[in-house]
Every structure is written in structure tokens, then in C-alpha cells.
Amino acid sequence: MENTEFENLKYYRMMSNRLNQLIADVTDLEFFYKSKKESKKSDYINFLQCEIPNIETTLNKTLTHLKITHIKDDAMQRFFRYSKRLNYLLFEFENELKRLNTSRNIEFENAFDFDLDNNFTLDRNQLLPNYLDIEKEFRDFIKIEAPQQNNNSLTVYDYKELTNNSETLNDFNFKNNFNNVEENTIIEYFTTSLVHKNYLSETVLNEFLDLAFDKKTLPKHKFSFEKLNTQKAIVKIFYNFYISTAGKPYGKQKEYLNLLCNYFNGFENFNIKNFSK
């Protein structure tokens, strides 16, 4: 029994680490994409040429992971959503190279080469029984077409479909004046973590985002979570936002704790020591 619990914990941590890394990769890439647009043209082109094969490799590795690992539905959907955002960035980067009359860099392509088929032949017993269904669902969700015949590349992207059908979890608009994280990333994180788990309504979440991130003002009356059977679950959500989504900015831990303590009832006595997973 102890060995089973240990293996379950080991699996959970591995899956969580992979998901957190994917989220961090997407968030960082979205942020650097904005900043690199303002850099020298040669630096910008170099960034695009390097990140295009990097994104393709990440997508390939993510799909490989999903096809060999049992993952709960909620975690699977998060893998799908962040992969879709990567695919959209790939679309953007490819178009930017075309606009700049520049092609992809072969040296970077070779550096990020990842042959998925060869990887599978190493140990096909690792594949889940429904791996083909998982692959189809993954491709359909992020608008990836089936590989063309005689083409060893895993990813053939339908950019038009992807652009016209980009997913939005919440159409609320606000300006993030709190940190450098994309507004859509913030909405997705808290919608998935709080609204979908029935801790908050979407209306209350939007009011919180407006006050805490846009206006940076305190509420006249603090918000309340609809179910607070354990404070640890809520603290973990806000702590993971600080660690994974925001990238653990140096010296800012208290500010992220205050997103919880200053805006929600029930956390008045919390301090830095309480702010952890």
C-alpha cells in the first residue's frame, strides 16, 4: 500500500511539473514576444527563428507525454489549452518571418530536432491503449491536421482555422497593471482554478480582476469564496499563481499574498509563512 501511495505521489508530481513547465513556457514566450518586437530587427528575427522549432518540439513532447501517461480530464484540458496557445504563437511567428522576408533557420531546426516516431519505436509498450484517440483529440483541439503522407513531421498546422477559432474562457476585458503576465493568462488561470471549481462565480472573479489587477484598489467589502471547506486549497491556488504563472518575481511574495488577504474574507491572519503549497 505504501509503495502504491508513493508511486501515485511520484506520478502526480511528475505530471504537475510537466504542466507547470508548459504553462511557464507559454507565459514566458508571450511576454518575450512583446518585448522582442521592440528590439533590433536582427535580434527579433533570431528570436523568431529560434523559437519556431522550439515550439514544435514542445508540442511534440507534450503529445508524447499525453499518449503514454494516465492524466485526469481537468489536467488534460489544461495541457490542451496551453498547447493551443503555443500553436497560435507558432502561427504568429511564421507570419512574422514571412512579413520580414526571412525563412526558417536550418541550424536551429537541427538543434531542436525531435523525431516522435523514432521515440515511440524505442518502447511501444508505453503507449496507452487509447493513444490514437488522445492524439486525434489533441490535434482537433489545437487545430492540427493529420500528418501528410511521406512527411515525417508530426505537426501540420491549419493556421486559418486556429486563428478563427481561438478559445476564450472569459470575455471580460481589463488591463493588468499588477505584473507582466498577459491578461488572458490571468483570466484562464483563475477561471480554471476558482470558477470551474465553484470557489467563485465569474462575476466575482471579474470584479476581483478589475480591482486587484487593473485599478489596484482595495474593495469596499471583501469578496467571499462560495465554498471554503479548506483554506489550504485556496492558498495553493494563489501560491501557484505566484510561483508558476507569474514566475516567482524576486521580493514580491508579500504582494501576491495580499491578492488573497486584502481581497477575500477568511485570510486576515495569514502571513508569508502560511503562503506555500
Q: What is the DSSP letter of 147?
A: P
Give the pLDDT score at 148: 42
Give the pLDDT score at 219: 92
Pairing label, strands 156-157, 144-145:
antiparallel
Specify the long-range contacts of residues 66-73, CB closer than 8 Å, at least 24 apart.
Answer: 66/134, 66/138, 67/127, 67/128, 67/131, 67/134, 67/135, 68/126, 68/127, 68/128, 68/131, 69/11, 69/15, 69/128, 70/11, 70/128, 71/15
Instruction: Provide the b/e sequence for 76-94 (b: ≥16 CB within 10 Å).
Output: bebbbbbbbbbbbbbbebb
Locate the DSSP E strands across the chain. 144-145, 156-157
SS (H, E, C) 208-273: HHHHHHHHCCCCCCCECCCCCCCHHHHHHHHHHHHHHHCCCCCCCHHHHHHHHHCCECCCCCCCHH
**Number of C-beta neighbours around residue 231 at 10 A:** 14
Q: What is the pTM of this model?
A: 0.51
pLDDT tens, the chain, 277 aa long = 445 555 555 556 677 778 878 888 888 888 888 888 888 899 999 999 999 998 988 898 888 888 888 887 777 888 888 898 898 889 889 889 999 999 888 877 776 664 444 444 445 677 888 888 998 888 888 874 433 433 333 343 333 343 344 444 456 788 999 999 888 889 888 888 888 778 888 889 999 999 999 999 999 999 998 876 668 888 888 988 898 888 888 889 999 999 999 999 988 878 877 776 5
Give the pLDDT score at 149: 38
Give the pLDDT score at 162: 38
User: Do residues 237 and 193 lie in contact, with contact meaning Cβ atoms separated by under 8 Å?
Assistant: yes
Beta bridge partners of 71: none
Give the pLDDT score at 32: 83
Domain edges within the chain: 2-164, 183-274
Determine the Cα–Cα distance for residues 14 and 18; give it in Å rounded to an integer: 6
User: Do residues 190 and 203 lie in contact, with contact meaning Cβ atoms separated by under 8 Å?
Assistant: no
* 3-class state of residue 156 by DSSP: strand
Specify the long-range contacts of residues 156-160, CB closer than 8 Å, at least 24 apart.
Answer: 157/87, 157/90, 157/91, 159/91, 159/94, 159/95
> Could you tell me the three cell numbers for 77?
484540458
Beta bridge partners of 156: 145
> Could you tell me the three cell numbers for 133?
484517440
